[in-house]
Amino acid sequence: MPPTMPPLNTLRAFEAAARLGSFASAAQELNLTAAAISHRIKELEGRLDILLFVRQPRGVLLTEAGRRYHERLSDIFTQIEQATKALRQQGIDGPLTLSAPHSFIHHWLIPRLNRLQSRYPGLQLKLRAESQMLSFRDNLADIGIRFGTGRYPDLHVEPLMGDYVSILAPSALINTLSDTRPASLLHTQVLLEDSSIHTSEPWNTWQPWFREAGLTLESSRHMMKFSDSGLVLKACADGLGLCLCRHSIAWRLLQERKVQAILPWRSHEFAYYLVSHPSEVNNPRIRAFKEWFREEAQAFEQP
């Protein structure tokens, strides 16, 4: 009489132990004890009446029969995993329109989107670069990312990521100066300003930084103004002067050593929030995007 189908838990234990070459490693992956893995494999060998592993003092080795069995089972488990992933992503495939500030899309989001595409290849993301709050009833966007206080009436709001701010200087300029003290730089260099900054963002304005450095910011001081924080950062990197910038926006140019902070980073009063219409809270595409974003934010190295 042919053998019956072995229990799935014995097959899973065998596949993991064969792939990892260790009962202990298989136990860690499957959240079991090594003794439980050993017991399940013994049960499988008993049902098959075939020795699958050679036990050694410092580990285990597959027998020839075990090796052939693992090759077939490995393909089967891969197919199961792929089928399960496809089933879970069934509601994720399709369009998702995201509204977010231009500087955040350009400097933080786009460099990471290849990982989102790899994870959810059927998700058709459309990006709208804008800072004003949308009415999600007009179907212009499904979700938004906004940097602010988190108070957005009549919308579902979830915090995503905090941020930091500092004064940045172009590295090419710093390398040419003999006096690079912050007070000296603030006194002598052109100040670049984002004219879109709200008055409720004190550390994104120059006055508190001058006070901290023991300087007075004269009302007649000339500033070069820009309408977007990304433009301010670009001007700074190109050597036009000093700028105030958030770490999330500047991180890539900081890594490339094109700009550098001249004072310690300060935690920002504002944070990034995900906003959507309350009726879309359980939208699988929004939930998938949010899960991916949180993992990226957790991996993002803050100063």
Mean pLDDT of 79-106: 80
Question: Residue 2: what pLDDT?
Answer: 47
Average pLDDT score over the chain: 89
pLDDT in tens, 252-288: 999 999 999 999 999 988 999 999 988 888 899 999 9
Residue 156 is part of a domain; what is its CATH number? 3.40.190.10
Question: Which residues span the domain enclosing 252?
Answer: 164-267
pLDDT in tens, 156-215: 999 999 999 999 999 999 999 999 999 999 999 999 999 887 767 778 889 999 998 889
- 120 domain residue, yes or no: yes
Cα 141 from Cα 249, distance rounded (Å): 23
Cβ atoms of 74 and 15 closer than 8 Å? yes
pLDDT category at 87 given cuts 50, 70, 90 is low
Question: Residue 78: what pLDDT?
Answer: 82
**For the range 235-241, what are the long-range contacts, defined as Cβ-Cβ under 8 Å and sequence gap of 24 or more?**
235/192, 236/168, 236/169, 236/170, 236/192, 237/170, 238/170, 239/170, 239/172, 239/173, 240/170, 240/190, 240/192, 241/189, 241/190, 241/191, 241/192
pLDDT in tens, 50-76: 999 998 877 789 999 999 999 999 888
The residue with greater pLDDT, 80 or 10, is 10
Considering the domain architecture, whether residues 263 and 275 belong to the same structural domain is answered as no
Question: Residue 53: what pLDDT?
Answer: 92
- 1 domain residue, yes or no: no
How many domains, the chain? 3
Cα 233 from Cα 244, distance rounded (Å): 8
Question: Residue 89: what pLDDT?
Answer: 57
